Amino acid sequence: MNRKIPISGSVEMPYNNDRLFCFWTGDNPMSSNRLKALATMENSGLEVTLLTRKNIESWILDYDPLHPAFQYLSAIHRADYLRMYFMHHYGGGYSDIKNINHSWIAAANELKNSRSYLNGYPEIGWRGVARVGGFSYIWLVLNVKKLVGNGAYLVRPRTDLTFEWREKANAVLTSKFEALQKNPARHPEDFKGRWVDGRKSTYPLRWTQLLGDIFHPLCLKYSDHIIRTLSAPEFSIKY
Protein backbone atom coordinates (compact mmCIF):
# COMPACT_ATOMS: atom_id res chain seq x y z
CA MET A 1 0.00 0.00 0.00
CA ASN A 2 1.47 3.36 -1.04
CA ARG A 3 1.68 5.67 1.96
CA LYS A 4 3.80 8.39 0.38
CA ILE A 5 1.37 10.06 -2.04
CA PRO A 6 0.73 13.70 -1.04
CA ILE A 7 -2.68 14.75 0.30
CA SER A 8 -2.76 18.11 -1.44
CA GLY A 9 -2.38 19.02 -5.10
CA SER A 10 -4.06 17.18 -7.94
CA VAL A 11 -2.30 14.07 -9.22
CA GLU A 12 -3.15 12.34 -12.50
CA MET A 13 -4.17 8.83 -11.43
CA PRO A 14 -5.33 6.03 -13.73
CA TYR A 15 -8.69 4.48 -13.05
CA ASN A 16 -7.70 0.89 -12.32
CA ASN A 17 -9.66 -0.15 -9.25
CA ASP A 18 -12.32 -2.78 -9.95
CA ARG A 19 -13.47 -2.77 -6.33
CA LEU A 20 -16.94 -1.70 -5.17
CA PHE A 21 -16.87 -0.25 -1.66
CA CYS A 22 -19.85 -0.15 0.66
CA PHE A 23 -20.06 0.76 4.35
CA TRP A 24 -21.99 -0.33 7.43
CA THR A 25 -20.73 1.82 10.27
CA GLY A 26 -23.35 1.32 12.96
CA ASP A 27 -23.49 -1.28 15.74
CA ASN A 28 -27.02 -2.27 14.72
CA PRO A 29 -27.38 -5.38 12.51
CA MET A 30 -28.48 -5.12 8.89
CA SER A 31 -32.12 -5.87 8.15
CA SER A 32 -32.97 -8.95 6.07
CA ASN A 33 -33.70 -6.72 3.06
CA ARG A 34 -30.35 -5.00 3.48
CA LEU A 35 -28.54 -8.35 3.61
CA LYS A 36 -30.36 -9.46 0.47
CA ALA A 37 -29.34 -6.19 -1.20
CA LEU A 38 -25.70 -6.75 -0.23
CA ALA A 39 -25.80 -10.12 -1.99
CA THR A 40 -27.06 -8.50 -5.22
CA MET A 41 -24.14 -6.08 -5.38
CA GLU A 42 -22.04 -8.79 -7.04
CA ASN A 43 -24.22 -8.18 -10.10
CA SER A 44 -22.06 -5.10 -10.66
CA GLY A 45 -19.26 -7.38 -11.82
CA LEU A 46 -16.88 -5.62 -9.41
CA GLU A 47 -15.24 -7.01 -6.28
CA VAL A 48 -17.61 -6.04 -3.46
CA THR A 49 -15.79 -4.87 -0.32
CA LEU A 50 -17.88 -4.25 2.79
CA LEU A 51 -16.23 -1.97 5.34
CA THR A 52 -17.48 -2.09 8.94
CA ARG A 53 -16.27 -0.73 12.24
CA LYS A 54 -14.22 -3.91 12.61
CA ASN A 55 -12.09 -3.56 9.48
CA ILE A 56 -12.16 0.10 8.41
CA GLU A 57 -9.04 0.99 10.39
CA SER A 58 -6.82 -1.29 8.30
CA TRP A 59 -7.64 0.84 5.23
CA ILE A 60 -6.91 4.22 6.82
CA LEU A 61 -3.63 5.67 5.58
CA ASP A 62 -0.92 6.73 8.02
CA TYR A 63 -0.46 10.15 6.40
CA ASP A 64 -4.18 10.95 6.35
CA PRO A 65 -5.99 9.71 9.46
CA LEU A 66 -9.71 10.13 9.85
CA HIS A 67 -10.78 13.52 11.14
CA PRO A 68 -10.89 13.46 14.98
CA ALA A 69 -14.58 14.38 14.83
CA PHE A 70 -15.35 11.09 13.05
CA GLN A 71 -15.97 9.25 16.32
CA TYR A 72 -18.84 11.61 17.22
CA LEU A 73 -20.72 11.25 13.92
CA SER A 74 -23.94 9.37 13.27
CA ALA A 75 -23.66 6.16 11.27
CA ILE A 76 -25.09 7.94 8.23
CA HIS A 77 -22.57 10.77 8.45
CA ARG A 78 -19.72 8.32 9.00
CA ALA A 79 -20.67 6.65 5.73
CA ASP A 80 -20.87 10.08 4.05
CA TYR A 81 -17.35 10.88 5.23
CA LEU A 82 -15.92 7.47 4.39
CA ARG A 83 -17.16 7.46 0.80
CA MET A 84 -15.29 10.72 0.30
CA TYR A 85 -12.16 9.30 1.96
CA PHE A 86 -12.18 6.06 -0.05
CA MET A 87 -13.08 7.64 -3.36
CA HIS A 88 -10.30 10.20 -2.90
CA HIS A 89 -7.56 7.78 -1.87
CA TYR A 90 -8.56 4.52 -3.56
CA GLY A 91 -11.13 5.34 -6.21
CA GLY A 92 -13.20 2.57 -7.72
CA GLY A 93 -16.88 2.13 -7.08
CA TYR A 94 -19.09 3.16 -4.22
CA SER A 95 -22.71 2.22 -3.60
CA ASP A 96 -25.19 2.45 -0.79
CA ILE A 97 -26.22 -1.06 0.21
CA LYS A 98 -29.08 -1.32 -2.26
CA ASN A 99 -30.12 -3.86 -4.87
CA ILE A 100 -27.88 -3.71 -7.95
CA ASN A 101 -29.53 -5.34 -10.92
CA HIS A 102 -27.14 -4.39 -13.75
CA SER A 103 -23.46 -4.79 -14.55
CA TRP A 104 -21.20 -1.80 -13.94
CA ILE A 105 -18.43 -3.13 -16.18
CA ALA A 106 -19.29 -1.03 -19.25
CA ALA A 107 -19.54 2.13 -17.13
CA ALA A 108 -16.21 1.33 -15.44
CA ASN A 109 -14.53 0.77 -18.80
CA GLU A 110 -15.95 4.03 -20.10
CA LEU A 111 -14.36 5.86 -17.17
CA LYS A 112 -11.07 3.99 -17.61
CA ASN A 113 -10.88 4.96 -21.27
CA SER A 114 -11.56 8.65 -20.63
CA ARG A 115 -9.94 11.49 -18.71
CA SER A 116 -13.14 12.03 -16.74
CA TYR A 117 -13.20 12.14 -12.95
CA LEU A 118 -16.41 10.29 -12.22
CA ASN A 119 -19.17 8.18 -13.76
CA GLY A 120 -22.54 8.25 -12.01
CA TYR A 121 -26.26 8.00 -12.62
CA PRO A 122 -28.27 11.14 -13.45
CA GLU A 123 -29.83 12.82 -10.42
CA ILE A 124 -33.54 11.93 -10.21
CA GLY A 125 -34.72 15.53 -10.47
CA TRP A 126 -35.07 18.66 -8.38
CA ARG A 127 -36.28 16.66 -5.35
CA GLY A 128 -32.89 14.97 -5.21
CA VAL A 129 -30.90 18.21 -5.14
CA ALA A 130 -29.17 19.05 -1.85
CA ARG A 131 -30.95 21.97 -0.20
CA VAL A 132 -27.94 24.20 0.16
CA GLY A 133 -30.10 27.32 0.44
CA GLY A 134 -30.32 30.64 -1.37
CA PHE A 135 -29.43 31.21 -5.00
CA SER A 136 -26.96 28.31 -4.90
CA TYR A 137 -29.87 25.90 -4.47
CA ILE A 138 -31.83 27.52 -7.30
CA TRP A 139 -28.78 27.28 -9.56
CA LEU A 140 -28.34 23.58 -8.74
CA VAL A 141 -32.02 22.92 -9.50
CA LEU A 142 -31.74 24.76 -12.82
CA ASN A 143 -28.72 22.63 -13.70
CA VAL A 144 -29.98 19.34 -12.28
CA LYS A 145 -29.25 17.52 -15.56
CA LYS A 146 -25.54 18.12 -14.94
CA LEU A 147 -25.64 16.45 -11.50
CA VAL A 148 -25.29 12.82 -10.47
CA GLY A 149 -26.92 11.07 -7.53
CA ASN A 150 -25.20 10.51 -4.21
CA GLY A 151 -26.05 6.82 -3.87
CA ALA A 152 -23.55 5.21 -6.25
CA TYR A 153 -20.69 6.11 -8.57
CA LEU A 154 -17.34 5.15 -10.04
CA VAL A 155 -14.54 7.57 -9.22
CA ARG A 156 -10.99 8.22 -10.38
CA PRO A 157 -8.88 8.92 -7.27
CA ARG A 158 -6.96 12.10 -6.43
CA THR A 159 -8.49 14.46 -8.96
CA ASP A 160 -9.33 18.12 -8.43
CA LEU A 161 -12.87 17.03 -7.56
CA THR A 162 -11.85 14.55 -4.85
CA PHE A 163 -9.24 16.89 -3.34
CA GLU A 164 -11.82 19.64 -3.03
CA TRP A 165 -14.39 17.16 -1.69
CA ARG A 166 -11.90 16.10 0.99
CA GLU A 167 -10.98 19.66 1.93
CA LYS A 168 -14.59 20.78 2.26
CA ALA A 169 -15.69 17.74 4.27
CA ASN A 170 -12.81 18.17 6.69
CA ALA A 171 -13.56 21.90 6.97
CA VAL A 172 -17.15 21.12 7.99
CA LEU A 173 -15.97 18.73 10.70
CA THR A 174 -13.34 21.17 11.96
CA SER A 175 -15.94 23.93 12.23
CA LYS A 176 -18.32 21.60 14.14
CA PHE A 177 -15.73 19.74 16.20
CA GLU A 178 -16.43 21.29 19.60
CA ALA A 179 -20.18 21.09 19.06
CA LEU A 180 -19.89 17.42 18.09
CA GLN A 181 -17.83 16.68 21.19
CA LYS A 182 -20.58 18.19 23.32
CA ASN A 183 -23.44 16.73 21.29
CA PRO A 184 -22.40 13.43 19.66
CA ALA A 185 -24.91 11.45 17.63
CA ARG A 186 -27.47 9.51 19.65
CA HIS A 187 -29.14 7.75 16.72
CA PRO A 188 -27.73 6.05 13.57
CA GLU A 189 -29.62 8.61 11.46
CA ASP A 190 -29.27 11.59 13.78
CA PHE A 191 -29.33 15.09 12.31
CA LYS A 192 -29.82 18.64 13.56
CA GLY A 193 -33.35 19.13 14.89
CA ARG A 194 -34.43 15.48 14.63
CA TRP A 195 -36.68 14.22 17.41
CA VAL A 196 -34.79 11.50 19.32
CA ASP A 197 -36.17 9.88 22.48
CA GLY A 198 -38.88 12.51 22.83
CA ARG A 199 -36.71 15.59 22.43
CA LYS A 200 -35.18 17.60 19.62
CA SER A 201 -31.63 16.54 18.82
CA THR A 202 -28.79 18.94 19.57
CA TYR A 203 -26.48 17.07 17.19
CA PRO A 204 -25.02 19.91 15.10
CA LEU A 205 -24.94 18.53 11.54
CA ARG A 206 -27.77 18.91 9.04
CA TRP A 207 -28.83 15.78 7.13
CA THR A 208 -27.02 16.68 3.88
CA GLN A 209 -24.26 18.89 5.33
CA LEU A 210 -21.42 16.37 4.96
CA LEU A 211 -22.35 14.96 1.56
CA GLY A 212 -24.98 16.52 -0.71
CA ASP A 213 -24.20 20.10 0.31
CA ILE A 214 -20.61 19.50 -0.82
CA PHE A 215 -20.95 16.92 -3.57
CA HIS A 216 -23.68 18.49 -5.69
CA PRO A 217 -21.96 21.89 -6.07
CA LEU A 218 -18.76 20.04 -7.01
CA CYS A 219 -20.64 18.00 -9.61
CA LEU A 220 -21.78 21.24 -11.19
CA LYS A 221 -18.32 22.82 -10.96
CA TYR A 222 -16.68 19.81 -12.62
CA SER A 223 -19.61 18.80 -14.82
CA ASP A 224 -17.39 18.71 -17.92
CA HIS A 225 -15.39 15.93 -16.24
CA ILE A 226 -18.37 13.76 -15.27
CA ILE A 227 -19.99 10.91 -17.20
CA ARG A 228 -23.59 9.93 -16.44
CA THR A 229 -23.99 6.41 -17.82
CA LEU A 230 -24.01 4.30 -14.63
CA SER A 231 -27.17 2.30 -13.91
CA ALA A 232 -28.64 3.38 -10.57
CA PRO A 233 -29.23 0.88 -7.77
CA GLU A 234 -32.81 0.07 -6.76
CA PHE A 235 -33.93 2.79 -4.34
CA SER A 236 -37.66 2.05 -4.13
CA ILE A 237 -37.37 -0.99 -1.83
CA LYS A 238 -37.64 -0.35 1.91
CA TYR A 239 -34.32 -1.40 3.42
- CA distances to 45, 85, 119, 159, 193 from 200, in Å: 43, 30, 38, 39, 5
The single-letter DSSP state of residue 128 is G
Q: Where are the domains of the chain?
A: 19-227
Residue pair 112/15 in contact (Cβ under 8 Å)? The answer is yes
Residue 50's SS3 state is strand
Residue pair 21/94 in contact (Cβ under 8 Å)? The answer is yes
Lowest mean per-residue pLDDT among 9-23, 82-96, 131-145, 216-230: 9-23
Longest dimension (CA), the chain: 53
The rounded Cα 24 to chain-centroid distance in angstroms is: 13
pLDDT of 5 reads: 46
State the Cα–Cα distance between residues 49 and 151, nearest whole angstrom: 16
pLDDT band at 11 (very low <50, low <70, confident <90, very high): low
Dump pLDDT digits (tens) for 184-201: 999 999 999 998 888 899
**Average confidence score pLDDT of the chain:** 91
pLDDT band at 100 (very low <50, low <70, confident <90, very high): very high
Neighbours of 192 (CB within 10 A): 16
